[in-house]
Amino acid sequence: MSDEAVELFARELAAEVDDAVHSGTGSIYSEEEFTRIVLDRLGDEGAVENPILLWQEGHFARTKYKITGYSIPDDEERLLLVTTVHTGELPPRALTRDEILGAFQQAVKFYECSCKGLHTKIEPSNTDASELARRIYEARERISVLRVVLISDGLTGLKSVDIKEAFDGTRVIVDLFGIERLHRILGQGLRRDDIVVEFDTELGAPLPCLKASRSGDDYDAYLASIPGALLADIYEKYGTRLLELNVRAFLGLRGRKSVNAGLRATIRELPHRFLAYNNGIVATVDAMDIKDLGQGHVGIKSVRGLQIVNGGQTTASLHRAKRQDGANLDGIAVPAKIIRVGGADLDEMVAAVSRSANSQNTVQPADFSANDPFHVAVEKLANNTWLADGKGRWFYERARGSYGAAELKASFAAAQKRRFTHETPKERRFSKTDLAKYLNAWDGLPHQVSFGNQKNFQFFMQSLKDEHPDGFEPDVGWYKAFIAKAILFRTVQSIVRAQKFAAYQANIVAYTTAYLSWRTGARIDFDLIWSRQVISPELKTVLEKWVGGIDAALRKTAGSRMVSEWAKKVECRDALREISLDLPDALPPELSSQTAFAKSGNGRAPIRNDGLTRGDLELIDKCRAINAETWLRVAQWGTQSKKLHWKVAGIARTMGEYAIGGWERSPSAKQAKWAMEAYSAAEKEQVFADDKASR
């Protein structure tokens, strides 16, 4: 890593921060925009799980505290607090010891004060900061690890600090994300760079191992035996980030979080036989330091970028047995195969090792790599689908850094550079996690989007695999509709930023996008948006009015819960789906004449209806509010009594089928009109009288 490369990265990041500040859509403070941009990207890379921007500083009993963000994993055993040191200096300088210690201590003080009841002192009491402080207070007995992430545009070094008994027995880990580490993670794609294990420090000597690979291979493989207590300790420090993405998603999506009964019994009753009974783990590392121990023996001093690709349940079970059962792990040894991977396709090699190591699983997780055929097909569509003017297109950054590589390639000739910039400007590029976010939000899954980019991407890919086990290949029609959804989502994003909501902006964006889909029955003129590459001023005005209502509804329905956590619940989705936000009498052009795909992941032909009115949308809304059982009863009554024309009874039956399918398909205006007339006729004939009497 050269000083020139770090300085170039620092200058590019600083320019992006300046652009954001001067755009008027974000904060006017460079430090806040720097924090937002960096946290968004660290979340995209999975280096920080679902980070949330939260600027809070103050005093509590003469103690000064300050944080700039946070993240709370699902298990509530870990808490991550973010603090920022923004110098604004170029070239970047080294932070002083006092700058680092001051920022770190103020973040730790926020945790300490929260454990002592800070939430009762923050005014007003319903702020996002008071909710976080209250949650920390309530979970203080369960939180065992506090991770403080210090982000900076200055140089901090790559070392982390691990204080195992810092406050009330809480383990405090300080991760320094200075500009050099940010460059390694965000610039070079080494997203696991902060996962470091120093065996010589932890064990007092290098970990003895046996080299199993041959010289000349494009990887190095070593066999070793890792002490169970150390493996549990490593898991406590890094949590599920230690698990390779496929394994992490598989354990998370399938709910396999409990300690295996057999493992538990062996740990408790026969720890000396653990090595014999257990298959052990398979792990990959990005880098390792090997020491010659003499007489043909070698040992592993340290590893960087550790990922467990097989044996995730073993690792989690050891940690849980230690934490929950108080098990003594001193006599346990875990067999391990450790593979150092290298080359340009580092992530793909890790994913390939993971798939091979887990091939014996009965239920296979989806392929989360960039080489999945679906992503290859989307990239092909992006490269070959030109805008209506024939002069530009969107760029799908299927693999990390591919846009930068294409930009660099074009920069060798001035004419090519101008052409590339004109055809594929940065604002028309999108990534895998962007794609999943746009589609899941439109498909009415804002609660999944609220889990953050990485988890949402896992949800999306697993759902795609479950719905299309033989694969799904999108076509041009699908792609143009997707880009329209991307434009919609990004417009909502810019509206929310411009209105400067204090917190939960990502949740407001996801739920507003989903609400538009719900409110319109997912019927919108995607062709119109694609051709214009922008939404109409009329639709933008509607969305500008809605975002405030969505924010208010999220907070109201959350009650005493944290909005960011409530937003992840199905119950939140269901509650927000039922709220009523106004539509104008004169509908925006995208709604009055539209082309609709009921759901993002299918191959159905588009449906087109012309001349929709506000009344049409209200009728469609009413249809969707009636459950499947009721519609099927209307159909049955109409057929048996012959009081409905057989075609109208058939429409009622169709509404029942749509309802059973979760309204993935939405009725047309004509269907809604006839269906509601059938429902009114059934009500008039007191078909539902028994239901009302029994209530």
Q: For the chain, how many structural domains are there in total? A: 4
Residues 56, 119: one domain?
yes
Say if residue 179 is in the same domain as residue 207: no
In a shared domain, residues 152 and 228? no
- 3-state secondary structure labels for all residues of 135-198: HHHHCCCCCCEEEEEEEECCECCCCEEEEEEEECCEEEEEEEECHHHHHHHHHCCCCCCCCEEE
Confidence band (pLDDT; 50, 70, 90) for 415?
Answer: confident
The mean pLDDT value of the chain amounts to 84
The more confidently predicted of residues 269 and 538 is 538
How many angstroms separate the CA atoms of 279 and 295, rounded? 29
Q: Please, is 77 exposed, middle or buried when counting C-beta atoms within 10 Å of its C-beta (0-12, 13-18, 19+)?
A: middle
* Same domain? 44 vs 159: yes
> For 318-350, what is each residue's pLDDT tens digit?
888 887 788 889 889 999 999 997 654 556 666
pTM for the model stands at 0.72
Residue 542 lies in a domain: yes
| Same-domain check for residues 435 and 561 | yes
Quote the pLDDT of residue 275: 86
Which residue's structure tokens are 């398909």?
665
Label residue 369 by pLDDT band (50, 70, 90). Answer: low
Q: Provide the token pair at 298.
A: 């070698």
Q: What is the pLDDT of residues 70-91, one digit of tens each?
A: 988 766 678 999 999 999 999 9
Q: Give per-residue pLDDT as tens, 496-555.
A: 988 888 778 899 999 999 999 988 888 889 999 999 999 999 999 999 999 999 999 999
pLDDT surpasses 60 at 264? yes
Structure-model confidence comparison of residues 533 and 255, the more confident one:
533
Dist CA 469 CA 108 (whole Å):
48
> Residues 486-505: what's their mean pLDDT?
90
Residue 649, domain extent:
618-694
601 with 624, same domain?
no
- Both 400 and 523 in one domain: the answer is yes
User: How many residues appear in the chain?
Assistant: 695
Please say which residue of 302, 328, 357 terminates a domain: 357
Whether 364 is covered by a domain: the verdict is no
Per-residue model confidence as pLDDT tens digits over 26-45: 778 899 999 999 998 888 77
Angle at CA of residue 38, ends 37 and 39, nearest 5°: 95
Residues 395 and 327 in one domain: no
* pLDDT for 256 beyond 50: no
Which pLDDT belongs to residue 346?
A: 57
Boundary-marking domain end, from 610, 641, 657 = 610
Convert the pLDDT of each residue in 634-657 to its tens digit: 999 999 998 898 899 999 999 998
C-beta separation of 642 from 595 below 8 A: no
Residues contacting residue 312 through CB under 8 Å, at least 6 positions apart:
243, 247, 248, 250, 251
Q: Which domain-ending residue is among 582, 610, 638?
A: 610
Cβ contact 191:46 at 8 Å:
yes
Are residues 158 and 76 both part of a single domain? yes
